[in-house]
Amino acid sequence: MGSKGESPRSDGVGFRLTRRGLLAGASAVAGAHLLGGSQGHSVSAVEGPAGFQAGAVASGHAVRGAQVQIKPPPPPPINWRPGHFITHVDVATRRMALTFDDGPSPYNTPSVLRTLASYGIKATFFLVGVNVRSFPSIARAIAEEGHELGNHSIYHTPYQSTALANQIGGNQAIIRDTTGITPVVHRAPGLTRGYSILNTCASYGIYEAHTHMSTFDYLSPRRSAWQLTDEFVRYHRNGAMPIYHDGGNRRPTPDALPSIINYGLSIGYTFVTATELVNSGAPRPARFGYALTAEPTTDSVADDAAEGYVDRCKYDAEAELIAMLDSGDVSLNSQDRSRIVEVLADIETAKQD
């Protein structure tokens, strides 16, 4: 390698050219030997070095061509650290990360993906391992469309920090083996907090993302699409990672999503992935060991209210999969049903261990 500013470049035919050599080629002294080849050698328009036009002849006369950047652009900033606990981000302009928990699901995720694609928006999907195993093609579709994948445990239960921490590594492997993507962000089901979760996140090189914005799409009975849109209008917060849900059986969230996005865009929000949001400002609280209790208690729930922690979803992955089988829905093909049966058997075995 050359000195700073002299990164070698290829001339497309096996020769190497430094920036200093290129500048020297502008002088008449360099003559026809600039490229180390015979006079009259043509340079490809695509592969030729900076400073030469398409079809230019290396005959000792420098020809002005398209300018190229010698140094690569700097890497994007990384404002998170493994084990960080983050609820929101202080940003200079209106930015927000749409996030979807508990998927993938054949009933909700495809519709969410179509809407996001129609607006050119990338979101973050926090995936449950048993659902990834049941619907691997949908998990792969999320990744292939450029959305961020997050870890949301294997089973979504129980809501105890140590038990959920023990599922982080296994779900990292499930998501990686299915999609080729290894998540860098985890969200504990039910927004459960505990030292064991953060310690385990740190050991796997990922951070923990919660939220400080209410959405209420997890409530039962389900709110209507109009109500969900109204909640967004009332409770949107800058730098937020609002939690929506695409897992399980049919939800109103996919129907509400176009109106939510349209309103957000109309008031100046840019929608990005969770990690893009974290890296675009100052994440908060961005502390390690922020959780004070291993399991939810009356005091920790009170602390949650004071700090703005919301959306305590109680999604039951096993019950939802059983309901899918019992529904007799013809949209589930034989392979889907076979995978669900296998996953349910594994869940039962895990309970006995």
**Active-site position among 88, 156, 245, 336:** 245
- By DSSP bridging, strand 9-10 and strand 16-17 are antiparallel
Question: Phi/psi at 285 (nearest 5 deg)?
Answer: -80, -15
Distance between CA atoms of 199 and 166, rounded to whole angstroms? 11
**Active-site position among 11, 101, 246, 336:** 101
- By DSSP bridging, strand 124-127 and strand 270-272 are unpaired
Q: Where are the alpha helices (DSSP H) in 75-160?
A: 109-119, 129-134, 136-144
Q: Report the phi/psi class of residue 5: left, alpha or beta, with left for phi > 0 and alpha for psi in -120 to 50.
A: left
Q: Which stretch of DSSP H or E encloses residue 303?
A: helix 298-307
Distance between CA atoms of 122 and 276, rounded to whole angstroms? 10
Which amino acid is located at 281 in the chain? G
- Burial-class residue 28 by CB neighbours within 10 Å (0-12, 13-18, 19+): exposed
Does the active-site annotation cover 245? yes
Distance between CA atoms of 50 and 10, rounded to whole angstroms? 10
Distance between CA atoms of 41 and 60, rounded to whole angstroms? 11
Tokens of 118: 């129609």
Catalytic residue annotation: 101, 245
